[in-house]
Every structure is written in structure tokens, then in C-alpha cells.
Amino acid sequence: PNVTFIADDGTETVLDVAVGTSIMEAAVMSNVDGIMGECGGSINCATCHVYVQNAGGFGLPDVGEVENEMLDATAAERRPESRLSCQLIMTEAMAGLIVRLPDAQY
């Protein structure tokens, strides 16, 4: 299923993300600029921060308690659509998801 990443400079990257893989892992494996994933997905770094552009209808999981705390520590401003991409595990229902990447992860 495809996920589109839109970098801060407008560059778009479309990846076919395997079901069960996190959006963060997929981005890091494909060297998408703008997602770091320093902690490897253990909700301990907030360098995988993304802005989900079109959250409705994709069945995304709710923001978890630890994720919520880490989202208060992102380098770029937190917005209502902020998520940690390591917590977004790909499903078929998430096909077509678009995430915008913040201007900074540090």
C-alpha cells in the first residue's frame, strides 16, 4: 500500500509500505530525508515526527500515552495532526495516506 511523504521543501516521495512495517521504518529504509527514527521505534526520540495530512478514514490508531508525551518534545511545532511515524504500523486501510515532514527533527 502506498504512502506519500511530502518534505518541507515540497519534494514528494511515494513508497509502497509493507503491511506490518511502520511508516518510520519504511522511510528510513528508503532514505527519505526528514525522518530520522533515532530510537528505532521505541517512542523515545521524537525524530520520526510527521504531520498526517489526511487522517480521516484510514483507521489510524489513537495517539498513545507515551506517544502523546513525546509529541510535546518534538523539534518542530506540535500540531493537531502530529504523530510519531514509528507508531503508525501499515495496514491495507492506510493505503493512500499522506504525511508531511516537519522542517526539523532535532
Nearest distance, CB of residue 67 and ligand FES, angstroms: 8
Nearest distance, CB of residue 85 and ligand FES, angstroms: 7
Element containing residue 84 per DSSP (H, E):
strand 82-84
In order of 46, 50, 62, 78, the CA distances from 65 in angstroms are 14, 17, 9, 15
> Of these, 3, 15, 45, 101, which contacts ligand FES (CB under 6 A)?
45
C-beta of 10 vs 20, nearer to ligand FES: 20
> Of these, 17, 48, 50, 94, which contacts ligand FES (CB under 6 A)?
48
Q: How many Cα atoms are found within 13 Å in the side-chain-facing hemisphere of 31?
A: 0
